[in-house]
Chain A
Amino acid sequence: MENQNIERDIKATLKKNWRLFRQSRLGITGLVIVIFFGFLAILQPILFLTNVWDEATYHPVVGYDAEQVTRTVVECPDEYPTREYETKEDCPRVDEVNIRYLKAFNIQVEVGDLYESNVQPAPPSSRHLLGTDSLGRDIFSQIMEGSQVAFLLGLISAIIGVGISTLLGTAAAFYGGKLDTYLMRQSDLVLMLPSLPFLFIISAFAELKVWHLAIVLGTLGGLGGSVITIKSQALQVKVKPFVDSARITGGSKRRIMFSHILPNVAPLALLYMVFSVTGAIASESVLSFLGLLNIDMSWGIMIYLAQTEGFIFTGLKYWWLILPAGLAVTLLAGGFYLVGRGLDDVFNPRLRRR
């Protein structure tokens, strides 16, 4: 009977919170983005399993597909600008090939001929929605793989981090004294740790996998500033009358902590979790971007490859190598951030407009 009541209460609260969340347009946008990338992450294994995509062609790391493209043979002028080409970078265009380049390989063609060749990186086509990279690997598949990595890493590290900080923060508020002092000094220390150089060092000297990174990021996040915030929230809950009444009716300390204080800190913890996913995704991408991580594929690595192979300064000519990965990191991190913002509106009545 009582359980039913509680269930109904929870349902009512959730319904009300959802109604509040729905009001925040940015929050909904964030949710849509997160769900979209979640869908991408799940879609890839399904495509492989159902053989819609065969692994030899579409595998994000070892797949290979050479696209046959017919291009016009042109001769690039020595001086720019000319009538057709503005700068040196404009010639040859994507659908053209420079005759001098072909001559260097002793291929006999004339200007104006059509020349069939394999292109890598290949521009987007119906076969490869976002084209291929310089090794003939499908970019879209890489994006999907990247979102798997991002979700895995983001969620694991966020759960670890929030778990640690909620436990420690509540304990600090509840037991106070030496434990509190120690924990606060500790988070001071972690907060002052220059995290990126710290991660450089760890990842350079120990071969980091996604799992390891998730644990490191989670622990760092969990010991840092969120402990302080959760502690102050728990302190506010601790002086509420229902905690006193629980104590008077003889609830044990541990029981009070777990059944009264923790549930009231939970919304804030959830909020932190969502926000820390943003940070975790960014950290992973940065480390991959600098080539310090031992993983096969991620969005950061895609940009790392585009940069090291010198595609960045080709501008928008090879946009599919640069834009999708960068936008994916930005969008997913932003999506989680926006969801957090929406939740903030729900849990913090002082932010509501009415």
Chain B
Amino acid sequence: MSQKLLEVTNLSMHYDTLDGNVDAVKNVSFTVNSGESFGLVGESGCGKTSVAMTLLQLQPDNSVITEGSIKLEGKELIGLSENDLRKVRWDSISIVFQGAMNAWNPVIKIGEQIREAMREHYPQNSKQENINKINELFKMVGLDESISERFPHELSGGMKQRAVIALALSCDPKIIIADEPTTALDVVIQDQILNEIKKVQNLLGLSLIYISHDIAVIAEMTDKIAVMYAGSIVEIGPTQSVFESPKHSYTRALLDSTPSIRGEKKKLRSLDGEPPSLINEIQGCSFSPRCPSPSSGCKNQSVEMGLIQIGEEHFVDKCCSECV
């Protein structure tokens, strides 16, 4: 059943800023199968959101994609015209933005904002059909029908976020990208929203790309996980395999800094130092300055970065392949 839906290969992209080029995404490759949920985890500023934006070709004007390809069902997205992209957006890939509080236009009613997208992709639908569908979606995410007639500022944060999920589902996409959808919410609501996302994903058989800095949430939500550091993927594999035997020292550091309820008691460790600035080109392993147990190879910075396979579908960066 698992057929390739989205295939990203060797994607590299930088931002052209006043201070120089910021290499936000370096040589990133991954695939998402249909019905699968894929997690992207890393610290703030490691390029997760840049990857998400590139998938929809919504990157800011000053970004430059230097190489790589993004194939959706075998169709290349990079280089498509704006008009062709419009057909892909929301129809095939929809997104739940980071800080979805601001995702609503403050002066347009919620229902109208959802209908607007449906009008674009289902021009043949009547207004009543659209309204019926919205009501159905609202029921699915646990919202009242009356929300349609409200303005965004009349809703609570959690309600807005549920409505955003309904919005994301409105045009029956094949993939939903959820970019830190719960960051601005309190813990109880966070949990509800996560359950809601998981529920609709299973119900509709969608693929999900879940982006977060919280490795615990990722563990709960995804089948496959990629760990990003300084613009590159340093470890990628099935969630279970990565969690049970993390190979990269950054993955381990991330896991060590997260409390676990189920597992044995352990001391939490924090990672010293800060992520490197992406403006300067980094020689060798970008993580080596912060690595608790750097190997001789990455210390003298002679090893080029790149993934090698270590288990079934489990890849890790070369420099850390030997540290266990």
Q: A residues engaging B (CB < 8 A)?
A: 19, 353-354
8 CB-based A-B contacts, threshold 8 Å: A19-B18, A353-B61, A353-B62, A354-B15, A354-B17, A354-B18, A354-B60, A354-B61
Which A residues lie within 8 Å of B17 (CB)?
354
Q: A353-B62, A354-B60 are in contact. List 4 more A-B contacts (CB 8 A).
A: A354-B15, A354-B16, A354-B17, A354-B61
Q: Please classify the interface of chain B as helix (H, G, I), strand (E, B), loop, or mixed, using the class held by over half of its residues.
A: loop
Q: Which bracket fits the contact residues of B?
A: under 10
CA–CA, A19 and B18, complex, Å: 10
Closest B residue, CB atoms, query A352: B18
CA distance A19 to B61 in the complex (A): 21
Chain A interface helix/strand/loop/mixed: loop
Give the nearest-CB partner of A354 in chain B.
Answer: B62
Chain B residue contacts of A354, Cβ below 8 A: 15-18, 60-62
Q: What is the CA–CA distance of A152 and B133 in the complex, to the nearest angstrom?
A: 67
Measured between beta carbons, the chain B residues less than 8 angstroms from A19 are: 18
Q: Name which residue of chain B comes closest to A20, CB basis.
A: B18
**A contact residues around B62 at 8 Å (CB):** 353-354
Kindly name the residue among B16, B17, B18, B62 whose own CB sees the greatest number of chain A CB atoms within 10 A.
Answer: B18
Which A residues are in CB contact (< 8 Å) with B18? 19, 354
CA distance A19 to B62 in the complex (A): 19
Report B17 CB to chain A, min CB distance, Å. 6
Q: B61 — which chain A residues lie within 8 A by C-beta?
A: 353-354
Please report the C-alpha to C-alpha distance between residue A354 and residue B18 in the assembled complex, in whole angstroms. 7
Q: How far is the CA of A354 from the CA of B63 in the complex (A)?
A: 10
Return the chain A residue nearest B15 by Cβ.
Answer: A354
**How far apart sit A19 and B15, CA to CA, in the bound complex (Å)?**
19
Nearest CB in chain B: distance from A57 CB, A: 53
Specify the chain B residue showing the minimal Cβ separation from A19. B18
> What are the residues of chain A within 8 A of B60 when measuring CB–CB?
354
**Nearest Cβ in chain A — how far from B321, in angstroms?**
38
A293 to B109, CA, bound (A): 55
Report the minimum CB–CB distance from B13 to chain A (whole Å).
Answer: 15
How close is A51's CB to chain B, nearest CB, in angstroms? 51
User: Could you tell me the distance in whole angstroms from the C-beta of A169 to the nearest C-beta in chain B?
Assistant: 26
The answer for the CA separation of A117 and B18 in the assembled complex, in Å, is: 64
How distant is B278 from chain A, measured CB to nearest CB, in Å?
A: 15
Q: B322 CB to closest chain A CB, in angstroms? A: 41
| Cα distance A354–B60 in the bound complex, in angstroms | 9
* 9 closest cross-chain pairs (CB), A and B: A354-B62, A354-B17, A354-B18, A354-B16, A353-B62, A353-B61, A354-B61, A19-B18, A354-B60
Task: Give complex CA distance A353, B15 in Å.
Answer: 12
What's the nearest-Cβ distance from chain B to residue A186, in Å? Answer: 30
- How far is it, in angstroms, between the C-alpha of A41 and the C-alpha of B293 when the chains are bound? 70
CB of A166, distance to nearest CB on chain B (Å): 30
Q: In residues 47-89 of chain B, which contact A (Cβ within 8 Å)?
A: 60-62
Chain B min CB distance to A350 (Å): 13
Q: Which chain A residue lies CB-closest to B63?
A: A354
- Bound state CA distance, A19 and B17, in angstroms? 13
Taking the closest CB of chain B, its distance from the CB of A352, in whole angstroms, is: 9
Q: Which A residue's beta carbon lies closest to that of B62?
A: A354
Give A24 Cβ to nearest chain B Cβ, in Å.
Answer: 13
Q: Which of B1-39 contact A (CB under 8 A)?
A: 15-18
Separation of A156 and B179 alpha carbons in the complex (Å):
53
CB distance from B279 to the nearest CB of A (A): 14
A109 to chain B, nearest CB (A): 72
Q: In the complex, which residues of chain A have a beta carbon less than 8 angstroms from the beta carbon of B15?
A: 354
Task: Give A170 to B76 CA distance when docked, in angstroms.
Answer: 55
Contacts of A353 in B (CB 8 A): 61-62
Cα A144 to Cα B61 with chains together (Å): 46
CB distance from A267 to the nearest CB of B (A): 19
